[in-house]
Structure 1
């Protein structure tokens, strides 16, 4: 039997992950300029994201959207595509989960079809979490490897931005939300195969066939 509490909690976590995922995808705070070596000028801070870059100077923030997406590197374009695909999967999963909730009356009292809708939406949320996790982890790997590379000049080195930390939280919210929705729509007590032992009660042997058996015995 479906657990309404787990379903609702899973939807809340999934929606929260989707909303914060939009913020992370748009935010320019994926990478920030690193001040290492002899670089002592900290009045200017450069922020870089998937869609724009911002320069903070003396309390002023100036942002600029990248002129051309084709001019970006292949890894940046892949990260863009994965984030957008993850958010689109959440958009597809959300109406399925809300329609299939036990506390809603969209499909009447039909329990099995509603539970299947919730399970499909839960799988989409789990897939979205992994798709969102890939660009976050890839950017973190690039930033760390570049920071410790002695061949990279200090001007080009970056540090992890707050959007990456929030991106890991977003992936966790989507994953936990999808798992709770799937567990809340499962029916552990239902048999997978029909019970054949009840067939003898439905079609009992006739008395004409049973009497000769007793005589021969």
Structure 2
């Protein structure tokens, strides 16, 4: 059918969004060191992520260290960790449900209408995943920008937007598009007319031919 490419495009974009969400969660480039001024000699670069911070000094390889205590982390970092982990799990579930709802996948006892609902559910989960990704990414970016323009904060403590934040925005956009395509396929499938053609998933009864009912004639009364 004409709507089958929507399934494939939605699931491919959903897979790319899943990979991007996982990369955003694991990369340490959420907050990078800011270099304010033109006469500054850069001796080291500092990266801060959800799970570790990394330091690259001049002519020294990159050194990363995981955060030691979970309870000592700021609440913003703890919330960002939780939301990104939920987003990864939710996108994985959405991808599995979407694969089960594809036309080419044969499941026992599943009709085309049920598969369309599975694809719609997958699309909704992808949209929720995009919202969960946007919350910590935008929250962290807001804090970085606010502190950067705050004159009370020392120049050495200011940070800039890292590559992981831009990857998070891109991943959220991709899963939003994937969810929209899958939900659109579900809506288009539900609006199809009920025709008796194979492959549409509708069980239409054939028209019943009227039976030949004998016409009873009126009784005649004979008078003698």
Whether 1:151 aligns to 2:152 is yes
Report the equivalent of 1:51: 51
Structure possessing the higher radius of gyration over alpha carbons: 2
Q: Deviations over 1:147-181 (max 9, x none)?
A: 00000011110000111111100000111011111
Deviation readout 1:33-52 (Å, 9 max, x if unpaired): 11125872312000000110
Give the direction of change, closer, same or farther, for the CA distance of 1:34–1:41 in structure 2 (3 Å limit). Answer: same
How far 1:75 moved relative to its partner?
A: 1.0
The separation in 2 between residues aligned to 1:138 and 1:4, in whole angstroms, is: 37
Give 1:108 deviation, angstroms: 6.2
- Residue 2 of structure 1 deviates from its aligned partner by 7.6
Change (3 A) 1:84 1:114: same
Q: Deviations over 1:110-136 (max 9, x none)?
A: 111111111111101100010011100
Structure 1 window deviating more from structure 2 (141-150 vs 181-190): it is: 181-190
Q: Distance in 2 between matches of 1:171 and 1:19?
A: 11
Q: Distance in 1 between matches of 2:102 and 2:120?
A: 10
Residues 202 and 179 (structure 1), Cα distance of their counterparts in 2 relative to 1, 3 Å cut: farther
Aligned residue number for residue 92 of structure 2? 91
Structure 1 unaligned spans of 5+: 192-200, 209-217
Identify the residue that residue 32 of structure 1 maps to in structure 2. 32
Q: Is the CA contact 1:2–1:185 (under 8 Å) kept in the aligned structure 2?
A: no
Which aligned segments of 4 or more residues in structure 1 are displaced greater than 2 angstroms? 106-109, 188-191
List alignment gaps of at least 5 residues for structure 2.
Answer: 195-207, 216-224
**Count of aligned pairs between the two proteins:** 199
TM-score (norm 2): 0.81
TM-score normalised by length of structure 1: 0.84
User: Which fold has the larger relative contact order, with Cα–Cα distance below 8 Å and residues 6 or more apart in sequence?
Assistant: 1
Q: Which residue of 2 aligns with 1:189?
A: 192
